[in-house]
A and B are shown apart, each in its own frame.
Chain A
Amino acid sequence: MRTLWWTLAIVGMSLVSIVLSEHRTFDPLQNLSLTIAAPVDSGIRDLANPTSDFFQGIFNRGDIVRENERLRREMERLQTQVAAGEDATRRVRELEDALGFKDSRPDDQLVVADVIAQDPSGLKRALAINRGSNDGLDEGMVVLSRDGSLVGTVSLVYDDFAWLRLITDPNSAVNIAVLPQGGKDAAARGIAAGDLRSGVTLEMLPTETEVNPGDLVTTSGLGGNYPRALLLGTVKTVEDKPQAPSKRAVLEPAADISALETILVVTSFKPARLAAP
């Protein structure tokens, strides 16, 4: 009988809490708990980092790992430049076609934040950062890696902390353009959707356009939720079924999303969902 009452009480309280939580009632409490947990968390992460390096070093030489990391970042930086260049060429052409069209994207204003935690459930791909609404953050704002490629958006904001939804999260969908190498063909537009299995899949790509492994993938700007020409990564593999209504591909993100420690939040760009009345 006691167990039955306990069950009813727990189920009832949990359901009420979940509903109130969805209405953001517990935000101050969650902000407080992150304030208390953050220093302990950072300490554990600082301890875990060398330990992780030690175990990696058993199988990989440390210098190779560091070199690999450096090259990856260098490649990401160069790819960002190439993507911006290719997109700029296309854009000039489009702007020439539509005289008087003004570039609406202002110079980016960025807030630097440190990653303090990662959602452990595995059902989500989310990170907690040490910046919140007091630093000018708002839900929907775009988040970049240290080297400028898109890694996600701000999904939950407390006063001093925020949770990010990564592009690998199953709830993430970004309008993208696949820029063919050489810049001869038109960019293929589609959607980059988060996927628990393969990270990010590129969906709804038109069958008639050419998409090849190595092609750069950037935001298309459609929908107004992301600035245009932000690098996501490169096409890893292409799944081209003859009878399928659209092509599907897998993205290799430019940033090492599993090892993000510092990120940049673009505060100057207002996503359409925030700008709407």
Chain B
Amino acid sequence: MKYLAALAGAFLAAVLTVSLSPYVKVLGVAPDFVLIFAACWAMVRGQSEAMFVVPIAGLLRDLTTSDPLGLSVLALSPIVFLSLLRELRPVESDFLPALAVVATASLTYAILSMTVLTAVGDDVAWATALLRLAVPSIIVNPLFAVIVYPPMRWLNPRPRPASFGIGSAVQL
């Protein structure tokens, strides 16, 4: 059931990304709802589910764009490693690491997709693309993740870690 929901969510994100891109532009770039969805899912549900959801999201994205099939699967795969941040808990909040993952994934996605497109013979203006697409997407995608992440977290509340003190099981 959860994977069916992930599939439906990824499909909706892929269609939203393709159809809204001419209308929703911030700093000259359109938000990548597939990337945002995959990163938020990975941060909410953990790495093991991300291993399934991220490739599916990438596949659906490639099927609705002119990119070669497999490009987005490859370019979104760093999200699985970035989702380790969820387990490390560098800060008390879940929200800030999620935004950091979306921002980092935006940069890795841009670099990997440019590499693949260059490899298949497309003319990629690296400097312009990095400056005008990759850098703004580091800001724009987390902005939209602010809208996407809270409902996903609300639907999947994370169990709080046991606290020390009365009633806690501390083995000496």
Q: List the interface of chain A (C-beta within 8 A of B).
A: 3, 6-7, 10-11, 13-18, 20-22, 26, 29-30, 33-34, 37, 40-42, 44-45, 48-49, 51-52, 117-124, 126, 128, 155-156, 163, 170-171, 195-197, 258-259
Let me know if B70 and A37 touch, CB within 8 A.
no
Cβ-defined partner of B65 (8 Å) among A22, A49, A119, A195: A119
B18 touches A17 (CB 8 A): no
Whether a CB of chain A sits under 8 angstroms from the CB of B29 is yes
Q: Is the CB of B133 within 8 A of A26?
A: no
A3 CA to B84 CA, complexed, in Å: 11
Complex alpha-carbon distance, A117 and B22, angstroms? 9
Determine the distance from Cα of A170 to Cα of B114 in the docked complex, in whole angstroms.
Answer: 13
B22 touches A258 (CB 8 A): yes
Contact of A118 among B22, B69, B122, B137 (CB under 8 A): B22
Which of A6, A123, A197 is most buried by chain B, counting CB atoms within 10 A of its CB? Answer: A123
For the complex, give the distance between the alpha carbons of A122 and B46 in Å.
Answer: 30
Chain B positions near chain A (C-beta within 8 angstroms)? 11, 14-24, 29-30, 32, 47, 51, 55, 60, 62-71, 73-74, 77, 80-81, 113-114, 116-117, 120, 122-125, 128-129, 132-133, 137
A22 and B18 form a contact (CB under 8 A): no
Given A197-B132, A259-B22, residue A6 in contact with residue B80 (CB < 8 A): yes
A17 and B69: CB pair below 8 A? yes
Given the contacts A3-B80, A22-B120, A197-B128, A121 and B67 also touching, CB distance less than 8 Å: yes
